[in-house]
Amino acid sequence: MIRHLVHLRFKSDTDAATKQSLYDRLSDLRSRIDGIEDFQTRANLSVETPLVRGFLDMFWFDFRDVAVRDAYLGDEVHQAIGADIVSCLDGGADGVFVCDIEL
């Protein structure tokens, strides 16, 4: 299984409803792409503020395998949602950090 972790630094004026709408759209990918095992969102609760560097939000997908992860990455709906997310981030693409791990 592959866990695809995405850490986000939203612009300060991005409200909770906008974030939730983006997360809902991501969650809907589960019905579009076979092999997505789970989708979760969380807030970063770290007290190490200098090290957090504004990355206060995150989400992750659990993919059955690398092939599912690759299908997700190439999916046009995912790419459109990703572009909408990047437009809400402080620094654009610099406001996202992605890490994939094997479980």
User: Which DSSP category does 16 fall into?
Assistant: H
**pTM recorded for the entire structure:** 0.94
Structure tokens at 10: 């939203």
The CATH number that domain 2-102 falls under is 3.30.70.100
pLDDT tens digit string along 45-95? 999 999 999 999 999 999 999 999 999 999 999 999 999 999 999 999 999
CA–CA separation, 24 vs 89, rounded Å? Answer: 17
| pLDDT value, residue 13 | 97
| Strand 2-8 versus strand 96-102 pairing type | antiparallel
3-state secondary structure (DSSP) of residue 74: helix
Percent of the chain whose predicted confidence (pLDDT) is above 70: 100
92 φ/ψ sector (left φ>0, alpha ψ -120 to 50, else beta): left
Residue extents of the structural domains in the chain: 2-102
